[in-house]
Structure 1
Amino acid sequence: MTDRKMLPQAIRLALLAGSVSLVAGNAFAQDAQSTDTTTTDTTQDTKSTTLDRIEVTGSRIKRAEVEGALPVTVITRKDIEVSGKTTVADLLQNSTFNSFGSNKPTSGSSAQSMSELSLRGLGGGRSLILIDGRRAPLSPQFSEAGADLNSIPLAAVERVEILSDGASAIYGADAIGGVVNIITRKDFNGVEATVGMGSGNWGGDTEEGSLLMGASSDKGRLLGGVSYNNRDISYVKDKPWMEGFRGPSSFANNYTTPAVNPVTGDVSYGGQIGPVPGGCTNPGFYLDGNNFCRYDYNVFAADTAQLKQKGLFLKGDYQINDDWSVYMNTSVTQVASFGRFAPALADHGIFIPADSPNNHTGEINGTGVNTDTVLKHRFAALGPRDNFDTTTTVDANIGFNWQVNDSTSLDFGVRRAHSGYTNFGYNYVNVPIATQLIQDGTYDIVDPINNDPDVLDAIRATTTRDSHFNEDELYALASIDVFDLAGGTSGLAVGVEHHKQNFADIYDAQSSAGNIGGSSGNSSAGSRNFNSMYAEWLLPFTNWFEADVAYRYDNYSDFGTSSVPKISVRFHPMDNLTLRASYGEGFRAPPLTILNSEPAFSADTVIDGPTAIAFGLDPTKGVQIDGLRVATPDLQAEKSKQWSAGVVYDPTDWLSMKLDYYNIKLTNQVKFFSSQEVVNRTRLGQFLPSNLFVIRDPSNGAIVQVRAGYANEGFINTDGFDFNAATKFDLGSFGTLKNNLQASYIRKFEVSGSPGTAPSDQIGTTDAPKWRATLTNQWEKGDFSLVWTINAMQQTPSYTTELLADYGYANACQAGVDYGYSNSLSCKSYYMTHDVSATMKMPWNGKITIGAINVTNKEPRLDQFAFTPPYYNQGLYWGYGRQIYFRYSQTW
């Protein structure tokens, strides 16, 4: 075999140049010798080449190999520090495995303070988040939620391990898209203080600080710390592409013809009559070219919400004697959030009879005779809707390790996790009271801003929401060295768990009743218990071949049982070559939020001919009807089958490459059936669960009510590739250079449609880029280092060519130009940003870092046909522009 060190210098320089020029998307620099399968409590005897056995994410068995059968990507503490990120959410949502983006703190969202991770584009509820190997509590904020990443302080994190493979047989429910294991810090002695700040071009300024203290002895370790991370709110009006653009809401101050439900008598707005005479002059209101009153919601609307995170954490362990040790881990995190969006409105409009002092329709029609009308009104005089959220997460775990004998150990403990959420919304409108005061003339619709403050306070409403998710857990894990094989010790892990989950999400009574304009309630509460048994067996048949088999059984109190297997194999024919493959099954338990939600009113718009005709409207146009969101108590678990195969190749001591393929098939999908879909399927005689149906007036066929909600149907089928290349070059007196490329390519993402229709492939659409990649280049010399990170993803057109043709545009680029946005719609096939940072270690144990995220001030790719500002996919892109930051760290 050719000596690696004898490679011609020219070839090495060429590969170096090639690695620097790579364009890609989302990972962090790792040492070329780092592995996919990071360690927990790993040590290496400097006098021996034998590795201690360590635990890796994706397995319950400790082993000596550093490159395992499953693909695990590691973000180290050093990677975190050079990334410029201040929260766990920012760190992980920039990952290439967060394929299509995920929920971020967006102002106006019902989950405004929450950040989640959606591995493989499968959703936060199908992506399992662990903290030190145990489940993070689920967020109670919305039905499809997973764990809230904002509940984990970044200062407490030692490293993050991302298992990009299913692992339900090891960890249970939700591990379909993959698993993220957040390992908290514990090996630290002394005191470390860190402060930092950052400034975004278009809002989102940051502040951060932490204090870490650790001590250890021969018997034990104790580490504690406090931290804070703040990010300021950002506003739509401050985005450069919104300059000169007004949000054209039709809910301003317009009279419309009444549309009357012939059965219930409920009245909603119909065709346009005209603006209230003289009533379109208050701040934020304007007349468009068609003499239609509009309200500019960009006056107040925020883009991203303000976040203020405070954390306290304490972790320790103590060796009681040679056989027994005790450990504990506890944390308390509070996240306060503020969001602001446009003033409230009445969803159905306000009915005004002909004899009301606020009815001026006779002036519009020129007859002087008023007619009954429905007012589409923006209650701007109340001020913007301000939402204040507070999420408090408490996580406490205490356990024991017992070394029973030389071949058997037992780990057991108890854990309590609590996630509590409260929301207060100000300046909403109580529609029944507002209707009465408008009809009798007490509230002046011509000059709303000058209404008596007592009148405004009479219609002003405050909304509340109080939610929690609690999980109590008892666990025990036995690890047994069964026997020796040619490749090493065969290990067996057998575990049991008992979980009790309790959930409640309670809206205020007025919101639940549908009386609050611009707000709706869907209270929910429920609980479940489940017991689990699992086993994993490692079989190292030879030094070059091993197999790992696992099986898990779960028994849930509310939906039944689940049994899932997994097998993985590792083939190591040469020192520098590893082949690996796995097959596994998974499941996701139906969310408690969906199983137990109370019926909640929703003002839905549907296209339905008989209803529109009964309302006196065009049968081809949408009409607003009474919708009801209902629970699905018989919802069943989603199931998955997935397999993967990969190769790890280290051709030289300065180059390592990994390529992995994955294939996931999700069946029995939990999907939402909208009111329109319920109407359509009822008409076509297609499948609907028994709790979803349409109620019609038998005399004319008009819709009285539509019951919409969730049900099991269909599948998701996706596959793709992950590629990693890491290099390390010793430049002698010029220092060292490390390059790390992480790229994820999704070949397909098929979602089943309605019965009788072909599945649709989401890849290449606005919300589903085909690839994401990150190239990180790190140069170090002595106490100085520079990092340059390139983030890239596929950039797709807003809509299909056919839809653009309907708008009269030949292509998406021309549409963007005509709409007048400052960056229009990029015609490029990719989106790229650059991050840079410089770090200097000071002689007094200090460290200074200065850097910039998105140094070129790249604007997000805009979606010209989106309905709400700021017109970009907030799950995929950041709208802060260039973010310059400074951080100082001091250790003692």
Structure 2
Amino acid sequence: MKETVLSQSLRRLFAGGACAGLAMLALPAQAQQEQAAAPIQRVEITGSSIKRIAAEGALPVTVMTAAAIRESGVTSAADLVKKLSTVQGSTGESASVGGSSFGFSGISIHNVGETRTLVLLNGKRLAQFGGQTLTGFAAGFDLNSIPLSAIDRVELLTDGASALYGADAIAGVVNFITKHDRTDGDVTIGYSHPQNGAYEKRLSATKGFGSLDTDGYNVMLTFGHDERTKLGSVDRSFANTGKVDFSANGKRYRKQQFSASPIPANALDDQGQLISPYQKTTGACPAKTFRVIEPYNDGSGLADDYCGYDFVRDLEIFPERKRDNFMASATAKYAGQELFADIMLSKSTQVSRIAPVPGSISIAAGSPLAVKYLQPIGITGDSLAFYRLFDMGPRTSNDEAQFASLVLGSRGVIAGWDYSASYNFSESKVKGNISGYPGALAVKALTSGGLLDPFVGPGQQSAAAQAAIKAATYSGYWDGGISKLHSLTANGSHELMRMEGGGLMLGVGANINRESFASRPSLFAQGKLADPAAGVLCGGALECDQRFGDPASSLPYDASRTSQGLFAELVIPVYKTLELGTALRYDHYSDFGSATTAKASFKWTPKPTLMIRGSIGNGFHAPTVPQVNAIQQGYGVTSEKYTCTPALQAVADAHNALCQPGNRQYDELAGGNAELKPEKSRQATLGFRFEPVSYITLGADLWHVQIRDTFGQLTEQVVFADPARYAKSWGSLVDIGTGKNYLAFLADNQNLGKSYATGIDYEITGRYRSPIGLLTSQLNMTRMLREVSQLQRDGAYYSAIGNFAELGAVTFRNQGHWSNTLKTGKWTNTLAINFKSGYRDQETTVDVLDAAGNVTGQEDIRKEVGFYSTIDWQAVWAPNKTWSATIGVLNLTNKAPPFVPSTSGANRGQQFGYDDRYYDARGRTAYFNASYKF
């Protein structure tokens, strides 16, 4: 085999540690001045079953070495993906604060979707997250399970629908490849220090035993542990309150994010308006609240005037977290073949806290509470008190995610065939524990019995009431799930004949997968307990209770599916300068029938310094097991608050339900849909790699993905804007505490229509041998050209590029990473810039202020969020081959996230003042790592 100048440069570049968006290692200044090239070995590259020379494929594969990852400053696989220009739309840990993500961290290539991005470990599929929801959220692999210290390299295939791994990899494939056949050892300790919280300490150790070549066996052991403290919203000036004044469009505005359930409680007056008895009698709002005046938009002239609770001050931006990972890989030679076994175990736990639980309490006319607090201010009828049970303490989620994987297999060469055959079992088990929640009937009993007084402040309840509140607190298991995958796979490749350009290569393979999911809500979550705190079952005269302020009706279910796949792949070297590729895959699902998908590709090298490549193919993606089989149930509340307009009232009447009083959040319902159709896609890429001179490498890949019958849910903003048009998106839910049946938003799974996405991934690398050392500069950027989606079949198309609106998320037009590394002597210094373009925020209603700060009216605005960038610096000192020390600073200038007044969005946490999905709130973070190799 003979390498071209370009492929040789690319192979050396990959071996040296360069990667898309994460190039940190020095590269040769001039290829022609190098010594003789290292021996060329055929290796299996992600996206193909055929072993061949790395860097010579027709598909866009990005390689990130362990050295490049280590020198980037990232400390986990979840942090790693944030550095990649090709990754957008991934879920981060902050979504777990006030949400139900159980700490899930995923990856989405090109914002095509986490569920459409396939994550592999050593080329093997992994079980989906056990905490995935029935809407498809978190139906991917949790990156917290990956032991970064065990990783030898990561390969990112940005072309979708792999014949080798499955037609469901519509967005692409991320393959984490672990270390093997090594005898060295490594112990690394590290510490990260942001300001006022989120401190992290870590320890990892890796050791190999035995050499395959000399001993006939090898065992690799890896262990990693890390801990992080919490970071509270009050520790960041841009996120420490729900009341923010700001300027835009030449005006002064105010945005208030709050809850209508404070302490002391708000109440409804006889006209149905929400008022604060405390404010009416004292003339001021209580602590931790601010005054809210909200005119109705129904033409009645009425307005709510109450005290809103500033729950933002109680949030945690980053929860406490602990992670442990262990991996053991064993390989042995037997009868000329390699027998291998891989075991991976991981456990992640995190604790997050939000404001004490809010809810509503019925206050009957003439009751002691009504006589004492409501009648003196003119409320004579029945009322509702909107109260926060502050004395019960914060709502706390203690989530645990365990992952286990076992792979047994054999690989080698038999009769001229490179083959690999394996059995893989993996399991993701998630357990969510809660505290700080009572039952709604328990709170009702406390109030009707005269113990609980919702109109007094924190700590002012009687001793008997305090004891009763404590006794009513539920603490224990709440919800979780188990996801399992059994897989048998076999594939091989063989040279069929010699052609002018080389060997005609054939790859074939087959797989059988058995995946299952079990939803395991607690009896409390199912609504089957009469006394949740004591664990007493309901039935007969004992009424079933549900969670106060957040009713639950989760139901357990088990579901599974089996799938089989066959594929064949050809690499055809027509000439030395032209290579063609083709692949065909057949899949059969036990619940969705059969699908045949194909891919064709080419690689043309008209000159040694230029390569042009491209591909075209189609894909098939079945819905997840929960998306099809889950039983309809309560699914939290809407992210926004809504006023009962006449149109909304008409829908409520049709469901024999009530609108929420005033401006309130509405309950949500969700469930599986057995009528869902699979998603079908088409993908294409066209790119080049060009080395005009030995010290500059240029590259770009144009990519396109189109999907029909996309999975999703209508966004609440779209449905509430036109309630009558979406008549099937409504239901009702009874508030156990008050017995009232309220209108609820139904976020059911649907095939929404079509989506199209097109963009370009750029790479520019320069190398210069200066008098003081080797300087390497690399720019990686993704530019989105087009992204449009339908929210219903045959409906209008909407775009999220630079636009946070109908789709509930943002796709950044430009996103990238520019790194500059100077290697001189024993030191390596890197300065990197991370950047993303701006966007228009979601339309938000804000108060208009005059020069004195008085509210003069309200206005709907769409704030322009500007270009955002941060600078990272790192220095590595390696005095010898044994020791190395790294110091660095992330976000060197301590740049705060941009302010946004919007509050909703898909997979967004409860944070306010910035969008936690796109910006890191830790600010300037100093870190230190020290490694000892032996």
TM-score tier, shorter chain, comes to: 0.7 to 0.9
Counterparts in 2 of 1:601 and 1:866: CA distance versus 1, 3 Å: closer
Verify: 1:411 aligned to 2:420, yes or no: yes
Verify: 1:430 aligned to 2:444, yes or no: no
Deviation at 1:855, TM superposition (A): 0.7
How big is each residue's C-alpha offset from its partner over 1:450-498, in whole Å with a ceiling of 9 and x where there is no partner?
3433210243223511311111111111222211111111111111111
Amino acid at match of 1:126: R
1:835 to 863, 868, 872: 872
* Cα distance in 2, alignment partners of residues 613 and 409 from structure 1: 68
Asked whether the equivalents of residues 25 and 791 of structure 1 are also in contact (C-alpha less than 8 Å), the reply is no
Amino acid at match of 2:162: S
How big is each residue's C-alpha offset from its partner over 1:821-854, in whole Å with a ceiling of 9 and x where there is no partner?
xxx9997741110111111112471101000011
Q: Equivalent residue for 1:359?
A: 370
**712-721 or 275-284, larger mean C-alpha shift:** 275-284
Verify: 1:341 aligned to 2:354, yes or no: yes
Counterparts in 2 of 1:69 and 1:371: CA distance versus 1, 3 Å: same
Amino acid at match of 2:203: G
* Cα distance in 2, alignment partners of residues 355 and 715 from structure 1: 58
Q: Equivalent residue for 2:838?
A: 795
Verify: 1:224 aligned to 2:221, yes or no: yes
* Cα distance in 2, alignment partners of residues 361 and 543 from structure 1: 92
* Cα distance in 1, alignment partners of residues 578 and 142 from structure 2: 39
Verify: 1:58 aligned to 2:98, yes or no: no
Deviation at 1:366, TM superposition (A): 4.2
* Cα distance in 1, alignment partners of residues 169 and 575 from structure 2: 30
Counterparts in 2 of 1:782 and 1:26: CA distance versus 1, 3 Å: same
Pairwise mapping of residues 221-620 of structure 1 onto structure 2 (< 5 A)? 221-243=218-240, 248-252=258-262, 253-257=264-268, 270-276=272-278, 285-286=288-289, 288=291, 292-322=306-336, 324-346=337-359, 349-360=360-371, 363=374, 366-367=377-378, 370-405=380-415, 407-447=416-456, 449=459, 450-451=461-462, 452=464, 453-462=466-475, 464-513=478-527, 515-519=546-550, 520=552, 522-523=554-555, 524-602=557-635, 608-610=648-650
Verify: 1:765 aligned to 2:809, yes or no: no
Q: Equivalent residue for 1:41?
A: none
Q: Unmatched 5+ residue regions in structure 1? A: 5-23, 35-44, 260-268, 697-701
Verify: 1:861 aligned to 2:898, yes or no: yes
Asked whether the equivalents of residues 61 and 491 of structure 1 are also in contact (C-alpha less than 8 Å), the reply is yes
1:715 to 737, 754, 758: 754
Q: Equivalent residue for 1:161?
A: 155
Deviation at 1:669, TM superposition (A): 0.6
Asked whether the equivalents of residues 48 and 163 of structure 2 are also in contact (C-alpha less than 8 Å), the reply is no
Asked whether the equivalents of residues 258 and 351 of structure 1 are also in contact (C-alpha less than 8 Å), the reply is no
Deviation at 1:510, TM superposition (A): 2.7
Q: Unmatched 5+ residue regions in structure 2? A: 6-18, 244-256, 294-304, 528-544, 734-740, 805-809, 905-909
Amino acid at match of 2:111: G
Q: Equivalent residue for 1:775?
A: 818
* Cα distance in 1, alignment partners of residues 494 and 563 from structure 2: 25
SS in 2 for 1:250: coil
Deviation at 1:539, TM superposition (A): 0.7
Deviation at 1:115, TM superposition (A): 0.5
**708-717 or 451-460, larger mean C-alpha shift:** 451-460
* Cα distance in 1, alignment partners of residues 667 and 323 from structure 2: 40
Counterparts in 2 of 1:457 and 1:110: CA distance versus 1, 3 Å: same
SS in 2 for 1:573: strand
How big is each residue's C-alpha offset from its partner over 1:307-332, in whole Å with a ceiling of 9 and x where there is no partner?
2111111112111133x220111111
Deviation at 1:578, TM superposition (A): 0.4
* Cα distance in 1, alignment partners of residues 889 and 390 from structure 2: 39
Asked whether the equivalents of residues 117 and 170 of structure 2 are also in contact (C-alpha less than 8 Å), the reply is yes
Verify: 1:205 aligned to 2:204, yes or no: no
Counterparts in 2 of 1:626 and 1:784: CA distance versus 1, 3 Å: closer
* Cα distance in 2, alignment partners of residues 171 and 433 from structure 1: 52
How big is each residue's C-alpha offset from its partner over 1:419-474, in whole Å with a ceiling of 9 and x where there is no partner?
11111010112111111221231212233533433210243223511311111111
Q: Equivalent residue for 1:113?
A: 103
Amino acid at match of 1:257: L
Pairwise mapping of residues 605-754 of structure 1 onto structure 2 (< 5 A)? 608-610=648-650, 628-673=669-714, 683-684=724-725, 707-732=746-771, 734-754=772-792
Deviation at 1:28, TM superposition (A): 2.7
Deviation at 1:644, TM superposition (A): 0.9
* Cα distance in 2, alignment partners of residues 279 and 251 from structure 1: 18
Counterparts in 2 of 1:851 and 1:677: CA distance versus 1, 3 Å: closer
* Cα distance in 1, alignment partners of residues 36 and 793 from structure 2: 66
Q: Equivalent residue for 1:891?
A: 933
SS in 2 for 1:79: helix
Verify: 1:851 aligned to 2:884, yes or no: no
Deviation at 1:46, TM superposition (A): 8.7
Counterparts in 2 of 1:827 and 1:856: CA distance versus 1, 3 Å: farther
* Cα distance in 1, alignment partners of residues 854 and 225 from structure 2: 43
Asked whether the equivalents of residues 432 and 480 of structure 2 are also in contact (C-alpha less than 8 Å), the reply is yes
Counterparts in 2 of 1:423 and 1:173: CA distance versus 1, 3 Å: farther
SS in 2 for 1:359: helix
Deviation at 1:243, TM superposition (A): 5.0
Counterparts in 2 of 1:627 and 1:827: CA distance versus 1, 3 Å: closer
SS in 1 for 2:840: coil
Deviation at 1:875, TM superposition (A): 1.9
* Cα distance in 1, alignment partners of residues 149 and 549 from structure 2: 38
* Cα distance in 2, alignment partners of residues 47 and 600 from structure 1: 66
Asked whether the equivalents of residues 612 and 623 of structure 1 are also in contact (C-alpha less than 8 Å), the reply is no
Deviation at 1:117, TM superposition (A): 0.7
Asked whether the equivalents of residues 349 and 401 of structure 2 are also in contact (C-alpha less than 8 Å), the reply is yes
Deviation at 1:231, TM superposition (A): 2.2
SS in 2 for 1:395: strand
Deviation at 1:609, TM superposition (A): 3.1
What is the aligned-residue identity percentage? 24
Amino acid at match of 2:891: N
Counterparts in 2 of 1:397 and 1:541: CA distance versus 1, 3 Å: same
Question: Considering only aligned residues, what root-mean-square deviation do their CA atoms show, in Å?
Answer: 3.5
**415-424 or 395-404, larger mean C-alpha shift:** 395-404
Asked whether the equivalents of residues 512 and 600 of structure 1 are also in contact (C-alpha less than 8 Å), the reply is no
Amino acid at match of 1:473: S
* Cα distance in 1, alignment partners of residues 236 and 745 from structure 2: 39
Asked whether the equivalents of residues 274 and 364 of structure 1 are also in contact (C-alpha less than 8 Å), the reply is no
Counterparts in 2 of 1:189 and 1:419: CA distance versus 1, 3 Å: same
**513-522 or 170-179, larger mean C-alpha shift:** 513-522
Deviation at 1:662, TM superposition (A): 0.7
* Cα distance in 1, alignment partners of residues 699 and 721 from structure 2: 48
SS in 1 for 2:357: coil
Deviation at 1:256, TM superposition (A): 3.5
